[in-house]
Structure 1
Amino acid sequence: MLLALMLCYSGFTALCLAMPRHHDELLGGKPSVRCRRGLSLGGWFLLGLSLWAAVAGHGWNFGLVDWFAVLMLSALALVLLLPYCPRLALTLAGLSLLTSPVAAWALN
């Protein structure tokens, strides 16, 4: 479940950075069209990987329930962190991407 949570949070952060307004607030400057497309595809890919991680950990029955819970929790965390601690939101996304291979290895 930890792997799914980290991948969901990173995916939502990538989707957030694909929006020009949030990209400007968090990183400064407007993203190019190519950057926006890459962040969108990467975000959706990470959300798909999080679904795989949840289903691989608990099967389809409980995996989908866990995945929806992780989706809500990670979206809530991002929404609460963005206005008050935007750098922390980006740092957590980067750390979750860096530590997700360790969590995937621990899953096996």
Structure 2
Amino acid sequence: MLLALLLCYGGFTALCLSMDRHHGELLGRQPSARRRKTFKLGGWLLLAVSLWAAVAKTGWGLGLVEWFAVLMLSALLLVLLMPYRPRLALALAGLSLLASPVAVLAQ
């Protein structure tokens, strides 16, 4: 479940960075159309991989329930961090993507 949580948070942050407002706020410049598409595709891909990680570990019945819980938790964390600590939200996304291979080995 840790792997799904890390991937969900990274995916939601990538989707957040695909928006002009958040990209400018976090990275200091407006994204190009290609960069916006890349972040959007990467975000959806990370969310899909997190679904696979949750379902592969516990099966479809419990895996979907765990995935929805992880989805809500990671979105809540990002929503609470963005207005007050946007740089921390970005740093946590980077750490989550760096820690996900470790989570794979821990399973």
TM-score, with length taken from structure 2: 0.98
Residue 3 of structure 1 deviates from its aligned partner by 0.4
Residue 67 (structure 1) aligns with = 67
Percent identical across equivalent pairs? 73
Instruction: Give the structure 2 partner of residue 35 of structure 1.
Output: 35
Q: Which residue of 1 aligns with 2:11?
A: 11
Equivalence for 2:25? 25
* Unaligned runs of at least 5 residues, structure 2: none
How many residues align structurally?
107
Counterparts of residues 63-102 of structure 1 (less than 5 Å): 63-102=63-102
In the other structure, the counterpart of 2:55 is 55
Please state how far the C-alpha of 1:50 moved relative to its aligned partner. Answer: 0.3
Q: One-letter code of the match for 2:104?
A: A
Q: Is the partner of 2:30 in helix, strand or coil? A: coil
Give per-residue Cα distances to partners, 1:43-100, cap 9 Å, x unaligned: 0000000001100111110000000000100000000000001111001000000010
What is residue 44 of structure 1 aligned with on the other side?
44
Looking at structure 1, the residues matched to 75 and 99 of structure 2 have their Cα atoms a distance apart, in angstroms, of 19
Stretches of structure 1 lacking an aligned partner (at least 5 in a row): none
Tell me the CA shift for residue 18 of structure 1. Answer: 0.2
1 CA distance for matches of 2:10 and 2:63? Answer: 19
